[in-house]
Amino acid sequence: MYFAEEKNNLFKDDITVNVVVSGIPSMLLKEFMQRVVNEQYSGGISLAVKDLMWLAVQKSKEKQARLDV
């Protein structure tokens, strides 16, 4: 995965980055676009991936909180 800093942002924790993901099978991408992006995300694949990333982080935090109890 490659992270590229946006030109107009200073380097800080909330910087936006461009992410290039490689090695995704075309059939998986096609099905993801048809079933997830086109049905739920009118803003496109970027919004879908961001949402999935936030959900995964939140789920991980919840799991860790249960383990810490």
User: pTM for this structure?
Assistant: 0.68
Q: Which domain holds residue 60?
A: 2-68
Q: Which tokens hold the place of 3?
A: 């992270």
Query: Does 15 score more than 80 pLDDT?
Result: no
Tell me how many domains the chain contains: 1
pLDDT of res. 30: 95
Alpha-carbon gap, residue 68 to 48, rounded angstroms: 30
| Segment 23-68, tens digit of pLDDT | 999 999 999 999 999 989 988 999 999 999 999 999 998 988 888 8
